[in-house]
Homo-oligomer: A and B are copies of this chain.
């Protein structure tokens, strides 16, 4: 069976509607028994031998002819999802029935369902590993990254809303020094560390808590609430000096987490900004941190390889990777984006 190219579709006549559309979810019915196929669908039918030629081209010739604009990655993901047993439609708004395309490239139906059933398993956005992906484009789709060796990694992306139960009655006016890019509190009330998990005791956890080291974000947060005897503005200025704009974004994220009852501590050992505890009550019996948080500026654009690094690390330490996108200027709280590996 053969097809022919007509603009951006491949038309197939004969009994194509029944053979390809009705029974296997390919293409869009046009007149009579004919269907229109998107190029990835035509390529897949050529690849499987269900179509013989399109305008005289076999699979190899068709693919060589169609390499513009991300065609190969899109074909590879389409073929992979088909191989996993899904019906998949190219996300052409004018072809979709009862579902919307969003900013996806492919619409994947739940197993056993197809176009026309009105249900979507995944909205899939396809990129090659060298393409960048705006953070703003994620949050309600699956990102399929085709790496340089044509292996596919799927990431589920979702908006999220961290919350916790931590609560601590802050002291006021604790004596403190600003020492270069950190702060030391002298003779702080024990609850600041033990119940609030602020700071790191100077001599390690088992020593007397007569001095507590605070990071600049911890100190700025505490200073703004009068808990330590240093001006918030002084610490913020120092933060900006040593970290630039990043400091304001990190402080906004830190403060928002604390206000939500979540305890953030440094994520340095995981290469992140923060690790977080949703249920911290006491230093002697706190559990596993649940999230790794990386703070990003508004308008951030991901490199898929960096995303892969963060998500793989978080997975390996049994935490969720969350990105806080914080706009330095807006005064709005950050938006939260969770990304995790997915096997469709």
Chain A positions near chain B (C-beta within 8 angstroms)? 47, 60, 63-64, 67-68, 70-72, 79, 83, 128-130, 145, 147-151, 153, 177, 179-182, 184, 186, 199-200, 202-204, 211, 213-218, 242-243, 265-266, 268-272, 304-306, 308-310, 312-313, 316-317
Q: Report the Cα distance A317→B312, complex, angstroms.
A: 10
Q: Report the Cα distance A270→B312, complex, angstroms.
A: 6
Known: A72-B180, A181-B128. A149 touches B265 (CB 8 A): yes
Expressed in whole angstroms, the minimum distance between the Cβ of A90 and any Cβ of chain B is 18
Contact of A271 among B47, B72, B211, B308 (CB under 8 A): B308
Q: Apart from A72-B179, A149-B213, what are 8 other A-B pairs with CB-CB below 8 Å?
A: A129-B268, A149-B265, A149-B266, A150-B200, A268-B304, A268-B305, A269-B308, A270-B309
List the B side residues contacting A243 at CB < 8 Å: 130
What are 6 A-B contacts with C-beta separation under 8 Å? A60-B184, A130-B243, A147-B268, A149-B199, A149-B266, A150-B213
List the B side residues contacting A180 at CB < 8 Å: 67-68, 70-72, 128
List the B side residues contacting A271 at CB < 8 Å: 305-306, 308-310, 312-313
Contact of A181 among B47, B148, B216 (CB under 8 A): B148
User: A128 — nearest CB in chain B belongs to which residue?
Assistant: B181
User: A186 — nearest CB in chain B belongs to which residue?
Assistant: B60
List the B side residues contacting A129 at CB < 8 Å: 268
Expressed in whole angstroms, the minimum distance between the Cβ of A258 and any Cβ of chain B is 15
List the B side residues contacting A145 at CB < 8 Å: 268
Q: Report the Cα distance A76→B177, complex, angstroms.
A: 16
List the B side residues contacting A310 at CB < 8 Å: 271, 309
Contact call A130/B269, Cβ cutoff below 8 A: no
Q: Report the Cα distance A79→B186, complex, angstroms.
A: 18
User: A145 — nearest CB in chain B belongs to which residue?
Assistant: B268
Contact call B179/A67, Cβ cutoff below 8 A: yes
Q: Report the Cα distance A128→B214, complex, angstroms.
A: 14
Contact of A216 among B148, B266, B306 (CB under 8 A): B148
List the B side residues contacting A64 at CB < 8 Å: 177, 179
List the B side residues contacting A153 at CB < 8 Å: 268-269
Expressed in whole angstroms, the minimum distance between the Cβ of A156 and any Cβ of chain B is 16
Expressed in whole angstroms, the minimum distance between the Cβ of A32 and any Cβ of chain B is 33
List the B side residues contacting A313 at CB < 8 Å: 271, 309, 312-313, 316
Q: Which of A145, A217, A309 has the most chain B CB atoms closer than 10 A to its own CB?
A: A309
Expressed in whole angstroms, the minimum distance between the Cβ of A240 and any Cβ of chain B is 12
Contact of A148 among B67, B68, B177, B182 (CB under 8 A): B182
User: A151 — nearest CB in chain B belongs to which residue?
Assistant: B200
List the B side residues contacting A70 at CB < 8 Å: 180
Expressed in whole angstroms, the minimum distance between the Cβ of A243 and any Cβ of chain B is 7
Contact call A203/B79, Cβ cutoff below 8 A: yes
Expressed in whole angstroms, the minimum distance between the Cβ of A78 and any Cβ of chain B is 13
List the B side residues contacting A67 at CB < 8 Å: 179-180
Q: Report the Cα distance A270→B313, complex, angstroms.
A: 8
Contact of A150 among B182, B312, B317 (CB under 8 A): B182
Q: Report the Cα distance A265→B151, complex, angstroms.
A: 11
Contact call A218/B149, Cβ cutoff below 8 A: yes
